[in-house]
Amino acid sequence: MNLHKEGYRIIAWSFLIIMTFNYLLHQHVNIEWLKWSLTMISMILFMLIVYFFRFPERFAKTKPTEVIAPVDGKVVVIEEVFEPEYFKDKRLQISIFMSPLNVHATRYPVGGRVVYSKYYKGKHLVAWHPKSSELNERTTIVVDNPEVGPVMFRQIAGAVARRIENYSVVGKEVTQGADAGFIKFGSRVDVFLPLGTEVYVIIGDKTRGGETIIANCPKH
């Protein structure tokens, strides 16, 4: 199983802490059922931490105008909205909610040149809250694709998530499906596409980041 680089330090520290805990447990606790129960719980906890930071290889065969899901999760929003931060006009928004059990790596939905990348401090409303896209801690990234023009995606921290990693740098050329960052412990990603985009998913659909094709944009 491939692991995301954001997990290396956390996994190492977790392993050290759990091994120390189990050493002390077996040295000082004489109640057998309690000792082995706590050992089992600690090992399950460690396996869950490792599982959270998995980073599977994904490949999608796409047309030049197609957009892939940036994350694993469930489609919770498909609607036309006014986007006030960058475009300042109407866009088609597709939002994907991630549970703590989903892969939390973020991938570029399209390839092109990064023209905007900004971090905002904010609240930690539940990720499916209608205002989380505007009020929560978040990063906004815009990639200018040569076929469809600029495409925005927004990493949003949820009630549990407390850290967003964003690798996007303005001026950088990026590849569709490449590693764009990581959101730790439950969150959401919004994608903003041009009006007239053909949507391939519906509310409730499950997506696989870097693999599920979610839309086909008109050429600009």
Position 124 confidence tier, pLDDT thresholds 50, 70, 90: low
The letter for the amino acid at 29 is V
List, in order, residues 6 or more apart from 15 with CB less than 8 Å away: 46
When pLDDT is cut at 50, 70 and 90, the band that residue 3 belongs to is confident
Q: What is the pTM of this model?
A: 0.85
Q: What is the DSSP letter of 107?
A: E
Write the CB contacts of 170 (distance below 8 Å, at least 6 apart in sequence): 114, 115, 116, 117
Q: What is the pLDDT of residues 178-201, one digit of tens each?
A: 999 988 766 789 999 999 999 999
Q: Is position 187 annotated as part of the catalytic site?
A: yes
Mean pLDDT within 40-64: 90
| Nearest residue to 81 via CA among 71, 73, 92, 66 | 92
- Which tokens belong to 210? 């870097």
CA gyration radius, the chain = 20
Residue 152 has what pLDDT?
A: 97
Q: For residue 197, what is the DSSP state?
A: P
What is the tens place of the pLDDT at every residue in 150-159?
999 999 876 5
Predicted local confidence at residue 156, as pLDDT: 86
Written as six digits, the tokens of 102 are 């989903």
DSSP symbol at 219? P
Whether pLDDT at 72 is above 90: yes
* Spatial separation of the C-alpha atoms in residues 16 and 106, rounded to whole Å: 28
Tell me the per-residue pLDDT of 128-154, one tens digit each, with 9 for 90 and over: 555 545 666 889 999 999 999 999 999
**Band of residue 116 on the pLDDT scale cut at 50, 70, 90:** very high
Is 209 within 8 Å of 75 (Cβ atoms)? no
State the pLDDT at residue 85: 92
Instruction: Quote the pLDDT of residue 70.
Output: 95
Q: Are 186 and 129 in contact (CB under 8 A)?
A: no
Q: How confident is the model at residue 207 (pLDDT cuts 50, 70, 90)?
A: very high
Q: Which fold has domain 66-216?
A: Glucose Permease (Domain IIA) (2.70.70)
Question: Nearest CA to 209 among 4, 41, 34?
Answer: 4
Residue 125: pLDDT above 90? no
Percentage above 90 pLDDT, the chain: 58
Whether the predicted pLDDT of 5 surpasses 70? yes
The residues spanned by each domain of the chain are 5-52, 66-216
Catalytic residue among 95, 132, 133, 187: 187
Predicted pLDDT at 69? 96
> Residue 215 in contact with residue 199, Cβ under 8 Å?
yes
Mean pLDDT of the chain: 88
Better-scored residue on pLDDT, 111 or 160: 111
State how far Cα 63 lies from the chain centre.
23
